[in-house]
Amino acid sequence: MAYKKYGEVFRTLRKQRKFPIYHFEKLGISKATLAKFERGESMMGFDRVVIALHELGTSLEEYEQFLNNFLINDKESIIADIEHAEIIGDKEELINLSDKAEQLNFHLLALSAKSLYKSLNHEEAEQIIEYLFSINIWGLTKLNIFYFTLKNFSARELQIIINSFLIEKHPLFASEKYRNCFLKVAYRASILFSSRGYLDSAKYIIDCIDNYHLEHTLFNQNLRNLTLGYWNYCFKDTKKGYQQIQVALDIFSNLEKYEIANYYQHMLNLDIS
């Protein structure tokens, strides 16, 4: 059963707190719904899972650690290494990380690393797409897999997944760690839409995030400004957009994020002739 482990971990946490199954009825979660979830027969809505975890005094990050048998640190380490290797353009390291992830049975992370130095074949891309479309509870690993493999999705597929977060304010935005990861994904998706010529889809992402007033770190705020600048560059005012992008790149440099500045300078491949 696809949901079995989610329910098993939740049941373990509930019993540790000595909460009877009817305890959650006051939160609008019936005994029948929770029992089916714990037995792996059905999946609760993400918002209900978040509310129930909060009642147990457990964060999303802790829940994901339990789900992954505390292998999350291994995954986080590989994810950070993949991201850094992509930023500095180290193909050899990406190949090594893909091999390492495969050896640890992190197959989709292996494909994610591969996608950054070599185009995935149709079967590999379908594995990623089918997996991400099957997700009911998004964790950091899943968000990063999406981040690394965005270019493998059609515009329609990208819009469907992004909309699942933006049509209504997603519960994971309450977590700083998850929110920051999502913003990284969303702004990359917007840049990808702009590069493909999808004016409305690219701006929709920026506008939704602005409308929700999501808290940004200085880094993410600057990434947002760079993304908006690229949208302007592609669709409205090339010179103004170019200037906005250059300001954002200068800020990354001033923050001593030189590799990030060089990465986006190369990725956007701007022409102001």
pLDDT of residue 203: 97
pLDDT of residue 20: 93
pLDDT of residue 144: 96
pLDDT of residue 5: 85
Instruction: Find where tokens 């250059």 sit.
Output: 246
CB 60 within 8 A of CB 175: yes
Q: Is the pTM of this model over 0.85?
A: no
pLDDT of residue 174: 82
CA distances from 95 to 85, 89, 111, 192, 240 (A): 10, 12, 10, 24, 39
Q: Which residues have a Cβ under 8 Å from the Cβ of 212 and sit 6 or more positions away?
A: 166, 169, 173
Phi and psi, residue 43, nearest 5°: -110, 130
Q: What is the CATH number of domain 4-58?
A: 1.10.260
CB 98 within 8 A of CB 120: no
Would you give the DSSP letter of residue 23?
Answer: G
Would you give the DSSP letter of residue 90?
Answer: -
For every one of its 273 residues, what pLDDT tens digit does the chain have, with 9 covering 90 and above? 556 888 888 998 899 889 999 999 999 999 999 999 999 888 888 888 888 998 988 887 788 777 766 555 678 889 999 999 999 999 999 999 999 999 989 999 999 999 999 999 999 999 999 999 998 778 888 999 999 999 999 999 999 999 999 988 888 888 888 899 999 999 999 999 999 999 999 999 999 999 999 999 999 999 999 999 999 999 999 999 999 999 999 999 998 899 999 999 999 987 655
